[in-house]
A and B are shown apart, each in its own frame.
Chain A
Amino acid sequence: MSDTVAYEEKKLKIIGTRPIRPDGVDKVTGRARYGADINLPGQLFGSVYRSPYPHAIIKSIDVSAALAIPGVKAAITGDDFEDMPSQFIPVGEMVVNFRDMTRNVIAREKALYDGHPIVAIAAISESIAKEALKHIKVDFEILPHVIDVVEAMKPGATLLHEEQYTLIERKRLGSEPTTESPPKEPSNIAKRLTWEKGDIENGFSKAHIIIEKEFNTKPVHQGYIEPHATVATCTEDGQVEVYTCSQGHFVIRSQCAKLLGIEVSKIKVIPTELGGGFGGKNNVYLEPLAIMLSKIVHRPVKMVMSRNEVFRATGPSPAGHVKVKIGCDKNGNIVAADAQIDMQSGAFPGSPLPQATITCFTRYDIENVRVIGHDVTTNRPKVAAYRAPGAPIAAFGVESVMDELAEKLSIDPLDLRIMNAAKEGTQTYYGVTFPQIGFLETLKRAKAHKNYNIPLEKNQGRGVATGFWMNIGNDTTSSLNVNDDGTIALTIGTIDVAGGSRSSLAMMVAEEFGIDSDKVRVTTGDTSQLGFNFVTAGSRGTFAGGIVAILAARKAIEECKIRAAKTWNVPLDEVVWEDGYARPASSNVGGFDPLSLADIAKNATKTGGPIAGHSEKNVQGAGPGFGTQIVDVEVDKETGSVKILRHTVIQDAGKAIHPAYVEGQYQGGAVQGIGWALNEEYIYGDDGKLQNTGFLDYRVPVASDVPFIDTDIVEVPNPYHPYGVRGIGEVPIIPPTAAIANAVYKATGIRFNSLPLSPPKVLAAITKK
């Protein structure tokens, strides 16, 4: 690859150590400023009237009674926003159509889900704003609704978008795909996407054994603890300032600019500390409403969602209906694999279908592959990315079928995967040929792991599953200044989504300079301070953020060498940088004492002025990530309750900059996967309203639900990162659902093809058996 930064093997001092986290004290003492902690002088409070119906025509809206309440200053509806043409623009890990986005921010002709914003109010207090909502009158014409993805695909299903015709996209590796004519009738199927490699029928004809199964998964919410919050202020001369908690303030800026018709330079977005996002904070919800209200009232407007609003109106992951068919020869070599993935995208098209379809079988080297995907609109909130968007849904099916194949062939489930594992040089069905990857290493380490060999007792079972995520780079920016005492201020555009990337970047910069990492202070810049920086998604934060931080450091180091050369009056090529010092390249240069970074910084004024380095780059060369997980469960056969006894994550990090943060990502991903497997689900009533809009009935695991998650960090360096870093955030959520279902099968003899494995479902199956 041309525009990449090469891996160099070298002795490391800082990288691989575990310094104390710089943002830790503020977070545990409550000083950290999250979205809702920001207040501006004179601010008003915004509140949103949301649709109580899953599907309804908005015939008229009357806000007069609300506006008559003393203290209520403004009310806006969809009419206050420009309508947008149907136009696809990449945002976050998904492609956004602004016609749809403007309607998702605030409804226009129809309400498309329970919780869809219809009116936004600004008032002098939160309680007045809430009271005002009760006086808004909307005349709805209630329409039939459709919640389930399979129902929504049926001919004759209630349509969300009367003008939606299925878009056909076909890809075939190595040759032209056959064409397929698009349906003539509108439907809820926004897109049909097909990937093909080899000859699927011929492949299955050579199979000794074929297993075909159907799977269902429920939408799950990212479950970030911090609700969406924003404060926006719009001045009389049209300058906009927005404080918001997001995974990418530059993307928020782009979306607001587009939706509100404001020049990018007039909007400044200031990121706050982020209380979790996991993909759910890549897109605007409140920001355009707060800006519009502020424009009208000439005061800052603060808006904070309640948990109820977060659940009803912000993106969960999609629900998936998945069919998987895999054929093997006698020895267990996979000869063909076929899948269909139907994904519910919510009220507007744009589920993570591309990601689900390309990650589906990619862990294995298979000659004949076909994956068909459908993107399906339903009366639910528009889905958002959620940690490895789409991949866990596909992997649940594939890894469950792999387990069944291993059983039928009497092969150890890890051995079956080892036999078929993708490796360096394997070409995927979507075209990419893998560079050096660490999948086989994770499988072999899993097989040898002590947790794979602990004897089990009655009602206990062990399951394994694997995960793959391609990882991404994209536009990334950073600016580094050497302070006059030789410490370093690094300003970055990549949001630390609470994983600790700020300190990982500090460690990489410190390693480059040869100084301690606590001499590097990392700040996230606002959008006026740096060039465009993509959202923290696709496991790119430490990888891409790291590369531009390293390049900025290298530029500053080069400048330090120039200053030393000036000081010593020698040519530049006679100065080297080593362990935090500029030194003469050899004894021939002269007997100069080495100059430390602090020495050079102190004299910077005399040698030409402040020393800095910056880097802006569309970062390439993200290293694919792979992992294997082993789960032991115990099933209470009288209640259907599944207890996770042991959970082991073995994953390739390329290089763990701060191993504790890598372990934290492995553990966090695994726990979210456990929630997805066991209890998390959206429960809708027959009326199409979401019933579990809080953490009491939407059950993410609590600490006592999970064991200590064991981790094993494999390090097969990414050839395109100076220290070998691969993204690691997403892979760990992919294997748990299948690993747990496979373990429950071993404990009960029952295969569960539908998530979650909640106690009523497990008990009913045990009782039936």
Chain B
Amino acid sequence: MKRVKKMQYESPKSIDDAISLISNSPGNVRLLAGGTDLLVQMQSQVADPDLVIDIKNIKEMKEFKKEDGVYTVGAAVTGMEIIEHEEFGSDWPGVVDGVKLIGSIQIKGRASMGGNLCNASPAADSIPAMIASGASAVIAGPNGRREVLVEDFIKGPGKTSLKSNEILLSVKFPIKKPNSSGAYLRFTPRTEMDIAVVGVGINVTMSDSGICEEAKVSIGAVAEKALVVEDAATALVGNKITDEIIENFISKVRASARPINDKRGTVDFRIQVIGVIAKRALKMALERIR
């Protein structure tokens, strides 16, 4: 006779305990940060874990610090904590743009950037912004720690480069360049509580004479994962940002999008609009440098 199984819940205090719990559990294990993805998935029976490990009681997971210009945001730091961190906001406004768009204030009171990253939705709002900022994921496993760039961390819809016994520890941001800034914009039919039909994260560094010295562009919701658009960055670097350059930049963004037709938008619509949103994000980032 089949018995309905019971789910176990653990709340370890250290990374090591968490890793050994994962390593020693035979069943399906899921980590729990804010739970705003996981609980919804469990409710709709998409996820059915045998063991849920809550990581919010691990000190390191909740740390949010700046050391030698490098921010480390613990994987379970909530969206509202990020939004309310003024200095972080002025250094990485694009990332905060992305985090701000996640759900409502209530959702952000629980939701973490780490969860957004590990959930690896192609439409996740903080991911293109993290990629454009050059952020990397700090990963802990039985054999120690490793770091990978966010764009390499994400493998596909719901897929990351985490091995089954690894956890995301934090997201690390590089030292911010002077005269640089960023932005993230998305398009949604509704103004809030919606999912990106397209999203664009961008970071640019300008010279004093108004030449673009460095740029990184990432687009979301138009492929199986957030993409880095090197052509679009190349279109900007070394140039003054004229209308003509912007047009070129837009066409490079559009060329690299490979969306699908689905209930959230058509291919034509997404390709059209990603160019528009990219242009607006670029202008927003430039405005912020000024």
Contact = CB atoms under 8 A, between A and B. Distances in A.
A696 B45 contact: no
A173 interface: no
B248 to A, nearest CB: 17
Contacts, number: 71
Interface in B1-46: 1-4, 44-45
A703 B263 CA distance: 23
Given A697-B263, A699-B194, A763-B273, A639 B2 contact: no
Nearest to B264: A697
Given A692-B263, A697-B263, A763-B272, A705 B2 contact: no
B265 A705 contact: no
A636 to B, nearest CB: 9
B4 A71 contact: yes
B192 interface: yes
B189 A699 contact: yes
A69 B272 contact: no
A135 B195 CA distance: 34
A69 B2 contact: yes
Contacts of A760: 265-266, 268-269
Contact of A699 (B3, B190, B265, B268): B190
Nearest to A756: B189
Interface string A695-720: 11101011111000000000000000
Contacts of A127: 4
A683 interface: yes
Contacts of B194: 696, 699
B276 interface: yes
Contact of A767 (B192, B272, B277): B272
A70 B265 contact: no
Contact of A128 (B4, B187, B264, B277): B4
Most chain B CB within a 10 A radius of its CB, from A638, A683, A691: A638
B1 A130 contact: no
B260 to A, nearest CB: 13
A763 B274 CA distance: 13
A683 B263 contact: yes
A148 B220 CA distance: 33
A333 interface: no
B255 interface: no
A116 B189 CA distance: 30
B193 interface: yes
A608 to B, nearest CB: 57
Given A70-B1, A127-B4, A641 B263 contact: no
Interface string A103-130: 0000000000000000000000101101
A65 B268 CA distance: 48
B242 interface: no
Name, among B44, B191, B192, B266, the residue most crowded by chain A CB atoms within 10 Å (CB to CB): B191
Contacts of A639: 187, 273, 276-277
B118 to A, nearest CB: 20
Contacts of A308: 44
Interface in B238-290: 263-266, 268-269, 272-273, 276-277
Main secondary structure on B side of the interface with A:
loop
A704 B273 contact: no
Nearest to A130: B45
B189 A638 contact: no
Nearest to B195: A696
A78 to B, nearest CB: 25
A730 B192 CA distance: 27
A758 interface: yes
B263 A691 contact: yes
A61 interface: no
A70 B268 CA distance: 52
A125 B5 CA distance: 12
A759 B192 contact: no
Contacts of B197: 759
Interface residues of B, number: 25
A728 to B, nearest CB: 28
Contacts of A70: 1, 3-4
B245 to A, nearest CB: 18
A688 to B, nearest CB: 14
B263 A758 contact: no
B192 A702 contact: yes
Interface in A120-179: 125, 127-128, 130-131, 135
A745 B105 CA distance: 36
A57 to B, nearest CB: 27
A702 B193 contact: yes
Contacts of A702: 190-193
Contacts of B268: 760, 764
A704 B189 contact: no
Contacts of A697: 195, 263-264
Interface in B168-193: 187, 189-193
B45 A763 contact: no
B111 to A, nearest CB: 15
B155 to A, nearest CB: 24
Interface in A653-705: 678-679, 683, 691-692, 695-697, 699, 701-705
A493 B44 CA distance: 37
A68 interface: yes
Nearest to A703: B192
A763 B190 contact: no
Interface in A297-326: 306, 308
**Chain B CB within 10 Å, residue with most, of A71, A697, A758, A767:** A697
B190 A679 contact: yes
Nearest to B5: A131
Interface in B42-69: 44-45
Contacts of B195: 696-697
Given A71-B4, A135-B2, A767-B272, A705 B191 contact: yes
Nearest to A683: B263
Nearest to B191: A704
Contacts of A701: 190
A679 B45 contact: no
Contact of A69 (B4, B191, B269, B277): B4
Contacts of A69: 1-4
Contacts of B264: 697
B1 A68 contact: yes
A328 B187 CA distance: 43
Contacts of B44: 306, 308
Given A130-B45, A764-B269, A68 B192 contact: no
Contacts of A767: 272
B263 A679 contact: no
A413 B3 CA distance: 68
A68 B263 CA distance: 39
Nearest to B2: A69
B246 to A, nearest CB: 13
Contacts of A71: 4
Nearest to B276: A638
A308 B187 CA distance: 25
A490 to B, nearest CB: 37
Q: Identify the interface centre among B44, B45, B190, B276: most chain A CB within 10 Å of its CB.
A: B190
Nearest to A72: B4
B189 to A, nearest CB: 5
Given A639-B276, A763-B269, A758 B189 contact: yes
A701 B268 CA distance: 25
Given A125-B4, A760-B269, 9 more contacts: A127-B4, A128-B4, A135-B2, A640-B269, A641-B189, A679-B189, A679-B190, A699-B194, A764-B268
The 8 closest A-B pairs by CB, nearest first: A760-B269, A704-B191, A638-B276, A131-B4, A683-B263, A691-B263, A128-B4, A704-B192
21 contacts: A68-B2, A69-B1, A69-B2, A69-B4, A71-B4, A128-B4, A130-B45, A135-B2, A308-B44, A639-B277, A678-B189, A692-B263, A702-B190, A702-B192, A702-B193, A705-B190, A705-B191, A759-B273, A763-B273, A764-B269, A767-B272
Interface of B: 1-4, 44-45, 187, 189-195, 197, 263-266, 268-269, 272-273, 276-277
